[in-house]
């Protein structure tokens, strides 16, 4: 029974690693939103991903970017940034951080 549990847990871990790699930021993704976000770079996208992962998962499980539409993300991200800042009692995320997170999830949702 213990071996079965370890096999299932290991398989789930491998699957989760595989899924996150398939959704990795890429220059192709950045290029796909060039008209929407002029001047947006792969470095910006990587920073947005970092901010998303380091801030959003402190309160809840991370949502896959493609789980929401662009209009939903435009509502969710500002609301969550406000909650994060209010909870911390200071601006953990400024307007630039919010913009980077929003652009990351929108780009990855396409």
For the segment 24-48, what is each residue's pLDDT rounded down to a tens digit? 899 999 999 999 999 999 999 999 9
- pLDDT at position 17 is 43
Q: What is the pLDDT of residue 9?
A: 46
The percentage of the chain sitting over the pLDDT mark of 70, rounded to a whole number, equals: 79
Question: Domain total for the chain?
Answer: 1
Residue whose tokens read 């929407």: 36
| Residue 7 located in a structural domain | no
In a domain, 29, yes or no: yes
Residue 68 near residue 109 (C-beta atoms within 8 A): yes
> Which pLDDT does position 65 carry in this prediction?
95
Mean of pLDDT over the chain: 85
The reply to whether 59 falls in a domain is yes
Domain-embedded: residue 89: yes
Residues 79/59, Cβ–Cβ less than 8 Å: no
Query: Where does residue 94 rank: exposed (0-12), middle (13-18), buried (19+ CB within 10 A)?
Result: exposed
What's this model's pTM, rounded to 2 decimal places? 0.77
Domain that residue 74 falls in: 24-109
State the average pLDDT over residues 14-26.
55
């Amino acid at each position: 029974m213990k071996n079965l549990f370890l096999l299932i847990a290991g398989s789930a871990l491998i699957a989760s690693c595989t899924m996150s790699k398939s959704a990795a930021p890429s220059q192709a993704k950045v290029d796909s939103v060039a008209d929407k976000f002029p001047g947006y770079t792969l470095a910006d996208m990587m920073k947005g991903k970092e901010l998303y992962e380091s801030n959003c998962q402190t309160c809840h499980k991370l949502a896959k970017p493609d789980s929401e539409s662009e209009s939903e993300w435009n509502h969710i991200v500002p609301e969550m940034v406000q909650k994060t800042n209010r909870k911390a009692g200071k601006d953990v995320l400024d307007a630039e951080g919010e913009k980077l997170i929003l652009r990351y999830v929108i780009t990855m949702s396409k």
